Each structure stands twice: as C-alpha cells, then as structure tokens.
Amino acid sequence: MYEFNIIIVSILKDKVRPVFPFTAIVGQEEMKLALLLNVIDPKIGGVMIMGDRGTGKSTTIRAIADLLPKIEVVQDDLFNSHPFDYDLMSNMVKTQVERGDHVPTKFIDVPMVDLPLGATEDRVCGTIDIEKALTEGIKTFEPGLLAKANRGILYVDEVNLLDDHLVDILLDAAASGWNTVEREGISVRHPSRFVLVGSGNPEEGELRPQLLDRFGMHAEIRTVKEPSLRVKIVEQRSKFDTNPYTCLEEFQEQQNELKSSIAAAQDRLPNVTIDYNLRVKISEVCGALDVDGLRGDIVTNRAAKAFAAYNNKIKVDINDIKSVITLCLRHRLRKDPLETIDSGNKIKQVVDSILN
C-alpha cells in the first residue's frame, strides 16, 4: 500500500496542470496581438492590459506562456542563465565560461511568474544574508521574483494597485535587463530580462502617466456584447472545465501552428527592415499627437517590425504600422492623471492623415 501511494504521488507530481489554449480564446484581438508581439520581441517593453472584470485577462496571459518553446538554461543556476549569450549570464556562469569549465545545461519551460500585490521589495528583488556575510564572510544571495522571471514573463495582476515604488523597480529592471541588490555595502547584480505584463480594472484607478509611459503597449479590452459570442465563450470555458484534456486535444493543431509561427517570427525578426520614409512618418504622427519623449517612436518601430515578422515579411509596410500604432501610443497622450486614456479615435485621425 505504501509503495502504491508513492507511485500515485509521483504521477501527480509529473502531471502538468492544463492551461486554457490560447487559440480557443474568443475575441479580445487587441490584447492577444499585444502579447504575441511582446513574446516575439521582448524589447518592445511589455504591455499594460486594462479592462472590465471577468474578460479573460489572466487566462489569456497564462495561455501565451504555454505557446513558447522551451529555453536552454545553465543547470543549478538561480537566474536561468543562457549558456552562450554573455548578456544573459550571471557572474558565476561568466566566470565558469571564461575559465573554460564545462557548463551543464537543461531545457525548461519559459518561466511564468506571478507577482502578488502584497509582495515586499526583498521578495521582488531578492535579499542578501547580512548575518552570514558579516560572520562567515560568505555573500549569500536569496533570489527574488526578478531572478525567477529572467528570460520569461512577469505578470502583475491589478498593477494599478501596486505600490509605485515597486512598479518603478519592475519597470527599471524590464528596461535595463538587470537587477541590482545593495545591502550594507554588499552588491549583487544579475540578469533580469523578461516580458512585463500588467493588468487592471480602470475603475480601481489608473497608473500615473510617468509610469504608464514606461510600458511598451497598452491594450484595452471590453466585455463582449454580442449574445452569440458570449454563448461561444461560455461554452468554450465550460468544455475546458469539464474535460481540459479533450479541449486541449481539439485545439492542438492550431496551438502547434501558432507555436511554429512565433518561433519563425523570432528567427526572422533580426532581418526585418523599415524604410527611412516610414520611420519619418511614425515620428510625424508622434509629433502631431504631442507625445512626450521618444519612447513612442522607438516602440512603434519595434512593434511594426515584430508584426511584419509575424506575417512572414522582412520589410515593414504602412499597414503594419497602422496595425500596431494605437497600441503603442494610446497611453502616451495623457498629460494629466485625471484625464482618461484615449480609446484610439484621436490617433486614428492623425494616422489616417499622415500614413496614406
């Protein structure tokens, strides 16, 4: 009986919790596009998803991670270090590589890390065991969520309720790709490159414009009104809850196709180009909309390239820009925290007059 229980526990440990398939999600095209473009090019800078309660924000975000190919990491490394890319290695792995040591590796699923609302700075950034450092002279680092999220996705639900100081830390790490922890004169620096995804309900308050601007994209989602679509969404969810494995099997072919498309787009992205005259037009739009700074220009260029790569092209055209520019600029038009975010009408008018 004892051995039987061990076998059952082992089977349950190995059993992966099923994730609702991304290709089964009905509607919410804006959110799905923003997530796809960010996993194709994480340098876009993440996405802020704002919308009504119960519209599938969390489900969609968890589903995108399930589409990504496994990544190769250094075995027993705390930071999911890349075995070949110097920029994605921890200092310990760099030292091993420089010495010519053999570095064992393994393949893991892309990390999907949830940041809870009550998280402290030490939980997010990691902490140094000061007592051990002072008494034994050993610098022991306890990694935080930023270490676990390296080369993956960091998801913050209700990010508009998170302390501004923590949001600043997350955005700085996402922008630089590094996290630095300093305590009592001891400093630890490690790679922390991830896709930052925030979600929230606008009724509970918006982020300050200065913080919102740091997100690469802003997707708006609304409750589906059409009765037939609502019925389809309810049926899909009920089918998954009743028998998730049957639902996964039904969408397996579409999931595999989308996985292949993402991987191909990631490979194609370095070769995608955008003509000078189109770059000028993007900057014209940003100037006409009085967008502060240059983040809007940079993100729109990156997103247009990722969109072109996803559509099997190596040259960006006007339609690629039109498809992504609202996502990239919508949240950069607010000058006053009391203003509401433009739904996209103002951007569309300017885009239609300049990009023709």
12 Cβ contact partners less than 8 Å away, ≥ 6 residues apart: none
252 Cβ contact partners less than 8 Å away, ≥ 6 residues apart: none
CATH number at residue 331: 1.10.8.80
Handedness of CA 314, 315, 318, 324 (dihedral sign): positive
Q: What digits encode the pLDDT tens for the residues 57-110? A: 778 888 888 888 888 888 888 888 888 887 787 778 888 888 877 888 888 888
Looking at the structure, do residues 38 and 142 belong to the same domain, yes or no? yes
Domain boundary (160, 193, 222) is at 222
Number of domains in the chain: 2
Nearest by Cα to 295 from 185, 175, 191, 127: 175
Nearest by Cα to 114 from 162, 82, 50: 162
Looking at the structure, do residues 45 and 193 belong to the same domain, yes or no? yes
Rounded Cα distance, 240 and 168, in Å: 37
Neighbour tally for 29: CB within 10 Å: 11
The size of the chain, in residues, is: 356
Looking at the structure, do residues 215 and 160 belong to the same domain, yes or no? yes
Type of residue at 129: D
Tens of pLDDT along the chain (356 residues)?
445 444 444 443 444 567 888 888 877 788 889 999 998 998 888 888 887 777 677 788 888 888 888 888 888 888 888 888 877 877 788 888 888 778 888 888 888 888 887 888 888 888 877 666 667 666 677 888 888 888 888 888 888 788 878 888 888 888 788 888 877 667 778 888 888 888 887 777 677 777 777 788 988 887 777 787 788 888 878 778 787 888 888 888 888 898 889 989 999 999 999 999 999 999 999 888 888 888 889 999 999 999 999 999 999 999 999 999 999 988 888 655 545 555 567 888 888 888 77
Looking at the structure, do residues 52 and 178 belong to the same domain, yes or no? yes
The answer to whether the beta carbons of residues 77 and 151 sit under 8 Å apart is no
As a dihedral over the C-alpha atoms of residue 114, residue 117, residue 121, residue 127, rounded to 10 degrees, the angle is: -40
Nearest by Cα to 301 from 319, 279, 285: 279
Q: What digits encode the pLDDT tens for the residues 124-147? A: 888 877 666 667 666 677 888 888
Neighbour tally for 8: CB within 10 Å: 10
Q: DSSP character for 43?
A: G
Instruction: Give residue 138's domain range.
Output: 17-68+109-222
Give domain status of residue 290, yes or no: yes
Looking at the structure, do residues 160 and 46 belong to the same domain, yes or no? yes
Give domain status of residue 11, yes or no: no
Give domain status of residue 340, yes or no: yes
Determine whether 330 is an active site residue: no
Looking at the structure, do residues 215 and 291 belong to the same domain, yes or no? no
CATH number at residue 202: 3.40.50.300
Looking at the structure, do residues 280 and 193 belong to the same domain, yes or no? no
Nearest by Cα to 119 from 84, 144, 141: 144
HEC per residue, 140-175? CEEECHHHHCCCCEEEEECHHHCCHHHHHHHHHHHH
Looking at the structure, do residues 117 and 200 belong to the same domain, yes or no? yes
Give domain status of residue 343, yes or no: yes
14 Cβ contact partners less than 8 Å away, ≥ 6 residues apart: none
Looking at the structure, do residues 198 and 305 belong to the same domain, yes or no? no
Nearest by Cα to 151 from 174, 128, 171: 174
Looking at the structure, do residues 31 and 130 belong to the same domain, yes or no? yes
Domain boundary (222, 248, 278) is at 222
Per-residue model confidence (pLDDT) at position 340: 56
Give domain status of residue 9, yes or no: no
Kindly name the residue from 151, 193, 214, 295 that is annotated as catalytic.
295
The whole-model pTM stands at 0.82
Give domain status of residue 188, yes or no: yes
Domain boundary (189, 222, 255) is at 222
55 Cβ contact partners less than 8 Å away, ≥ 6 residues apart: 28, 221, 222, 223, 224
93 Cβ contact partners less than 8 Å away, ≥ 6 residues apart: 74, 77, 81, 83, 103
Type of residue at 60: T
Looking at the structure, do residues 217 and 312 belong to the same domain, yes or no? no
Give domain status of residue 54, yes or no: yes
Looking at the structure, do residues 288 and 217 belong to the same domain, yes or no? no
Give domain status of residue 233, yes or no: no
